[in-house]
Chains A and B, each alone.
Chain A
């Protein structure tokens, strides 16, 4: 968003893009069709199922070029334009090809305050890729994201529209990238919600021991 404020230009999408998938590839299996029709049945009209179906298509094809949106529209019996409008509204739907790992680094208020831009710059340097772009190896896409709703554990980022990585530090980034490159599961970090604190003996952070790089008081101020 910061770039947009400096240079507020909205570009016209390519009106006639080259298709990425051949017509042989563009179809849903019968299993996928069953899942789609199950979603359609949950709603009075089929446009209720458009987001589910887009999600399914993104998992299947990796991203959502126009021909995939057309496929979704045909499958649901909706206007192609409507599906296109929904897909462009949400940044989580990828309209162009992304890397195998999409790293959405939050740079909104709380994360910015606690070093979100430092994390972003560190990632850019480490992966040799500019924000908004995909690394030459095609494995990593680094993006700026608006608030992802985890201010309590800022700075943070989201990986592939899924797991959150909290309390980021350069060391933690190194571990994460290592895990991604070697294909290991990402290290899991559990974050407690404030309403659970009483049950946890006022310990705000279940992973307090695991953190070595930077320490915050593990005890809430109420007990002091």
Chain B
């Protein structure tokens, strides 16, 4: 197998790997700015320079020349090479800054040039703390500045579009954003204008940077030149905890991080998953973070009364209603809820002799783009269908509900009124039990019992995306009350997990009084006298992964952070 020697150590390789990516894959750090694995390689930041040599060959015979010790004679390139654009060949010898003074000096000098016109506003810059330029300037850069002249002043806080702000002074012209719009999102809305010290990226006159994937350029920007209109100056990076999760805006289930401070979700950024969303996240997925924080319920309510209602009294009322209506209750699952929650609803319906009619579909034809946005605006339609819960035919069921066929309705984490399943008037004579997320839920005025449900940021659970990939989430923020299962799954880096009321980040006012549906329904089942209900989502999925062939292998261990691909449903039917 061909091999290369990097810093004196031999590495074997296959095919024609790029040197920079090869080094990164093998844990050899090389500073770089413009290189991004999914885009073309312009090699314009000049930061990843390395010294490359190859065995010298005799011109006449083509034999590799050897010295007295029998070692091949290495001929080095006359100048340093950019490792991002260099394709490794057999026998090459590569020196990084660790073994070559020349490379070290070159990288230091490149950084000095990059920093000449870079403003020294790290203390107020959103990128500070996770800024490649800042990190690499510390690691590889010069100690001080020798530049005694006026720095070039370029336009600041330019609103490129509705969601992205440009600070041109901070830009180092790596062209990642321009290449993103040219090669990945293909909107072609950005370009670098002017030249020399005057250049910076911007949209042409009359064009707004409003494409549905525009905020990805904020993530790939290696400096703080592109920032989010929404998140600008909201929090320092080290004050937040990031928790791996998935987005629930559509059926793609793109992987993301939820960034939490003071128990509030402040932003959502993409998490690499080559099988789902690679490095990217559509803007619609990022801008939904406010619904985790705002309009959240104060607690459970019975007969519209929240103040005097405890969880216990509301559970008792639900059990009474279930016992009273029994079979005549309409159970509605939810494509917003997890697989575990929906499965528990199936158990509940079975316990009282009823049936889950289906889930309310939220399909917006034409919204999808074949990439990371889908027509289906719910995260778990596929999970419901795999459980045997079909999408409801809205006009049909609307007619049935309004004809007064049902006395009661049990709705899991959805909004029947807003989604057009029924009108508020038709619910007047019905006993409605609702698991809900936000106080903006339009069905709330008609509820007999309203139970606040934990959202994706607060719960543990499994979602199945449109291509049948089962992915699990862990809680990113704390809810009121003690739930050992949730606490155990909380990320270890969470400041507020280890905090006490005396710590400045501790803020109990942002704890939402809600419970995951997989906690609520087993309590109801127990009160109804059902035994052997699996406790906790992990056990539920373990049970499902064995009992239901549509979830074969979807245990928490198998799903990990990247998810697991389930076999397609058609095959299940055929098998």
Taking Cβ atoms with an 8 Å cutoff, the residues of A that contact B are 4-5, 7-17, 66, 69, 78-85, 88-89
Contact = CB atoms under 8 A, between A and B. Distances in A.
B183 to A, nearest CB: 11
Contacts of B154: 10
Contacts of B204: 66, 69, 80-81, 83-84
Contacts of A15: 205-206
B205 A14 contact: yes
Given A8-B150, A13-B193, A89-B194, A81 B207 contact: yes
A89 B188 CA distance: 17
B151 A8 contact: yes
Nearest to A6: B150
Contact of A8 (B152, B181, B189, B202): B152
30 contacts: A8-B152, A10-B152, A10-B168, A12-B155, A12-B158, A12-B202, A13-B193, A14-B205, A15-B206, A16-B206, A17-B205, A17-B206, A66-B204, A69-B204, A79-B188, A79-B189, A80-B188, A80-B207, A81-B188, A81-B190, A81-B203, A81-B207, A82-B188, A82-B191, A83-B204, A84-B191, A84-B204, A84-B205, A88-B194, A89-B193
Contacts of B178: 81
B182 interface: yes
A8 B153 contact: yes
Contacts of B192: 85
A80 B205 CA distance: 10
Interface in B171-226: 178, 181-182, 188-195, 197-198, 200, 202-207
B193 A88 contact: yes
B303 to A, nearest CB: 56
A78 B194 CA distance: 19
Interface residues of B, number: 29
B189 A81 contact: yes
A89 B195 CA distance: 5
A70 to B, nearest CB: 8
Given A10-B152, A81-B189, 6 more contacts: A10-B155, A11-B155, A66-B204, A81-B181, A88-B193, A88-B195
A16 B153 contact: no
Interface in B238-286: none
Interface of B: 149-155, 158, 168, 178, 181-182, 188-195, 197-198, 200, 202-207
A86 B200 CA distance: 13
Nearest to B197: A8
A15 B158 CA distance: 10
Rank and list the top 8 A-B pairs by shortest CB-CB distance, nearest first. Answer: A79-B188, A85-B191, A84-B204, A81-B191, A12-B155, A88-B193, A8-B152, A66-B205
A13 B158 CA distance: 11
Nearest to B168: A10
A17 B150 CA distance: 30
Contacts of B182: 79, 82
Contacts of A7: 150
Contacts of B181: 81
Contacts of B152: 8-10
A10 B205 contact: no
Nearest to B159: A15
Nearest to A91: B195
B407 to A, nearest CB: 60
A8 B178 CA distance: 25
A81 to B, nearest CB: 4
Contacts of B191: 79, 81-82, 84-85
B193 A84 contact: yes
A66 B193 CA distance: 13
Contacts of A14: 205
A177 B192 CA distance: 37
B229 to A, nearest CB: 16
A80 B191 CA distance: 9
Tell me which of A78, A80, A81, A85 has the highest count of chain B C-beta atoms within 10 A of its own C-beta: A81
Nearest to B203: A81
A83 B151 CA distance: 29
Contacts of A80: 188, 204, 207
Contacts of A88: 193-195
A145 to B, nearest CB: 14
Nearest to B158: A12
